[in-house]
Amino acid sequence: MSGERRFILKMLTAGSLWMTATLFNVARAQKVVKEDKTVDLPTVAASSDLQPLLTEIIRGFEAETQIKIRVILGAESRLYSQIMEGASFEMFLSSDERFAIQLAEAGKTEGQGDVYAMERLAFYVPSESLLKADNFLGDIRLALRDGRLQRFAVADPKADPYGRLAEEVLRRKLVWEEIQPLLMIGEDVAQTAQIAASGAVQGALVAFSQAGQLMAARGGKFMQVSDTLCEPLKKRMVLLKGAGNTTRRFYRYMLSNKARESLRRYGFLIPAA
């Protein structure tokens, strides 16, 4: 097995740890529900890049209501497929509203839901990298030619909305084909941030909310990718058919001023009321 292959497997394993713990908690919750039908323990499905934000928001919700909820985090395309196949989630928090809208069109939701935030793509450069960080990625082509760029991380464009944006940006910079041999592709943008944090790449395109955490954890710098290269993602949430009262209460909390303060703190844009 090649060194690069071993590294990818290591990253996949690391990226699965939170998911494994979350699935365990959900399984326990489902067992309790079977034993006591009066217990309302909803399961919310959310895109994995929302983990730090949701940790804070759920803490606030539980402190205010004294009610517990369960969250499954994962690649958005995978969660979408699970919901289409009948997974027993009660709410879906998307990073790309297209998934939520498709669920609504398939009759899986109660209406079209709400856009709760918008987020831009960010260009992250580790402290040891010789790449120049700017919001137009102006140094990418030259760095490819002079050898300063050896590895670059993006999310899977076929499975993750931030990966789709990354491909769009790199195509507009006319380097998509040239950079292919150097790409380290994460299953989703959360795993892409882990790859960037490992020090294995000279640059990465990640969610804006992740970039500040990367800089705090291991230094470097980041820039918001210009809106002329890609538009912000609209994040939409929807209630799924059969959602219970606790889930509806959490849905309303996501639109509250407290939740919006958390969103702003993590770098999300708040849509006009």
pLDDT for 232-242, tens place per residue?
A: 999 999 999 99
pLDDT average, residue stretch 13-36: 35
d(CA 179, CA 20): 33
Query: How high is the pLDDT of residue 272?
Result: 81
- pLDDT-derived band at 40 (thresholds 50, 70, 90) equals low
pLDDT average, residue stretch 249-258: 96
Q: Which range is least confidently modeled, 35-39, 46-50, 197-201, 208-212?
A: 35-39
d(CA 21, CA 164): 28
- pLDDT-derived band at 9 (thresholds 50, 70, 90) equals very low
Query: How high is the pLDDT of residue 273?
Result: 67
> Can you give the length of the chain in residues?
273
Query: How high is the pLDDT of residue 229?
Result: 96
d(CA 266, CA 260): 10
Residue 227 pLDDT greater than 90, yes or no:
yes
Residue 14 pLDDT greater than 60, yes or no:
no
3-state DSSP: the chain helix, strand, coil percent, rounded to 5? 50, 20, 30
Tokens 């000279």 correspond to: 202
Residue 8 pLDDT greater than 80, yes or no:
no
pLDDT average, residue stretch 174-193: 95
Helix (H) or strand (E) holding 203: strand 203-207
d(CA 93, CA 204): 24
Judging by beta carbons within 10 Å of its beta carbon (0-12, 13-18, 19+), is residue 3 exposed, middle or buried? exposed
Query: How high is the pLDDT of residue 150?
Result: 97
pLDDT average, residue stretch 35-55: 77
Query: How high is the pLDDT of residue 12?
Result: 39
Residue 20 pLDDT greater than 50, yes or no:
no
Q: What's 273's DSSP letter?
A: -
Query: How high is the pLDDT of residue 41?
Result: 77
Residue type, 214: L
Q: Which range is least confidently modeled, 35-44, 77-86, 120-129?
A: 35-44
Percentage of residues in the chain with pLDDT exceeding 70? 85
pLDDT average, residue stretch 135-162: 95
Judge whether 106 and 100 are in contact, CB under 8 Å: no
Query: How high is the pLDDT of residue 220?
Result: 93
**DSSP states of 173-197:** TT-HHHHGGGEEEESSHHHHHHHHH
d(CA 245, CA 39): 11
3-state secondary structure of 163: helix
Residue 75 pLDDT greater than 70, yes or no:
yes
Tokens 């994962």 correspond to: 74
Q: How many CB atoms lie within 10 A of CB 265?
A: 12
3-state secondary structure of 5: helix
Q: Which range is least confidently modeled, 11-25, 75-89, 111-125, 148-162?
A: 11-25
3-state secondary structure of 52: helix
